[in-house]
Amino acid sequence: MLAQSRPGDNSPPFTVSELSGALKRTVEGAFGHVRVRGEISGWKRHASGHCYLTLKDNDACMDGVMWRGSAAGLAFQPEDGAEVIASGKLTTYPGRSKYQIVIERLELAGEGALMALLDKRRRALAAEGLFDEAKKRPLPFLPRVIGVVTSPTGAVIRDILHRLADRCPTRVIVWPVPVQGEGAAARVAGAIRGFGAMADRPDLLIVARGGGSVEDLWAFNEEEVVRAAAECPIPIISAVGHETDTTLIDHAADRRAPTPTAAAEIAVPVRAELIAALDELGARSWRCLARGADRARERLALIICRLPEPAALLAGPRQRLDEVGDRLPRALAARAGHARADLAGVAPRLRRELLDQRLERAKEHLSSMWRLAELAHPERPLHRGFVRVTARDGRTIMQAGQARELGAFNLRFADGEMGVTVDDTSPPTPRRLEPKRRPSYVAPQRGLFDAEDDSC
């Protein structure tokens, strides 16, 4: 059905773009600058740097956007649940037929809201165990190198260096960082982690900042700073603000100092006091040694008084020595007399006849052994008609086949030796051997091995 003009229609129809533009101009004209209080929900930071969120209360909600330039000036890290006041201008987004606030400044809705956010974050981090007292480490007594994370232009670093120089001059490494504003928390956390990753890292770390409002100190309440302090392998002293100021890094650090100057006092002892203490200990040691020596001399004097005279001590031993000297010649004469008597009693048993009998038995035994040796000599059978067949190199030939293979060999008789050669190379005719009769014993004749005299 086609659209037609009716009575009373005194204006032409708008296009969607025309109406959206008119609404945009009306909203922006009526609400050029507004401040809206609400609770953050759905906070998101885009990769481009722009931030998107929703502001809500009990009955309504409103979308908001914060461009990158404005987001860079945030003094705190927004998170869901934080009550804030957003300042900016109201506009519409024709592409989605919705209105939103373009936020130019975002602030926490009073100190109460800020403290509520701080308390919420503190409870969450404490529940993870980041603030446990059991994790606190003792500080080194006399650190060689101290690292300081702070602003290089403020009075804080001058106060720390001056106090360290007065108490105990120590090498100091300063890692300069901004201590407030956008990006301060990331720089502080990066400095703490950078010190912990050094190959030759400091023995002690001081994170310091001067006093200020809660907003000024907010960078030290950020979660990334607290986690960096809790994970740092170096003992940390937190010196943020003045005595009444408290930040979350104070709970994560190993020690809290009320001021940066107090942190320097905690970090090192007074050199003059150390020297005085050493001097006092040295003096006490000498006094103890002197007292010990005096007491030893007193005890020695008392002991000497109780000892008898040297002459009295040696009188008894001298007398005993004289008595022994007098008895010694008589004792020696008596011992010699006893020895002569013992010798006279043994002498009859050493007569010549006994020695002769023993010598005769020894000669008979030697003669019998000599005769056995002659009987067992390999040349002895030669005197009974046997011949020993040997090769030219002296080896004994025991088989006919060996003699036939050699062709020439020696025959050894009792009275000499002669060489022979083999003419018959035919194999020997087998014959039955008669049982060998045991020869009767013939008394050996005296020869080369006969003893001329059986006497020794």
What is the per-residue pLDDT for 192?
94
Other Cβ atoms closer than 10 A to 102 = 15
Q: Which residues pair with 66 in a beta bridge?
A: 51
Instruction: Tell me if 280 sits within 8 A of 179, measured CB to CB.
Output: no
> What does DSSP say about strands 255-256 and 236-240: parallel, antiparallel, or unpaired?
parallel
The pLDDT, as a whole number, for residue 4 is: 57
- The sign of the dihedral angle between the CA atoms of 397, 398, 402, 404 is positive
pTM comes to: 0.48
- The predicted pLDDT at position 440 comes to 46
Alpha-carbon gap, residue 55 to 62, rounded angstroms: 5
Nearest of 155, 158, 267 to residue 205 by alpha carbon: 267
Looking at residue 111, what is its pLDDT?
Answer: 61
| Residue 410 · residue 392 · CB < 8 Å | yes
| pLDDT value at residue 293 | 92
Q: What is the structure's pLDDT at 445?
A: 45
Mean pLDDT, the chain, integer: 82
What would the pLDDT profile of 94-136 be if each residue is shown by its tens digit? 777 778 888 888 877 766 667 777 888 888 888 988 899 888 9
Q: Encode 241-256: b = buried (16+ Cβ within 10 Å), e = exposed.
A: beeebbbbbbbbbbbb
- How far, in Å, CA of 206 to CA of 264, rounded? 8
Residues shown for the chain: 456
Q: What is the mean pLDDT of each run of 10 residues along the chain (456 residues)?
A: 58 73 77 83 86 87 87 76 84 77 81 74 87 90 93 89 90 91 88 92 92 82 91 93 85 91 91 87 92 91 81 81 86 86 74 76 89 79 83 84 84 85 64 48 43 40
Q: What is the pLDDT of residue 310?
A: 76
Task: Count the Cβ atoms, other than its own, within 10 Å of residue 36.
Answer: 16
450: CB partners within 8 A, 6+ apart: 374, 444
pLDDT of residue 450: 43
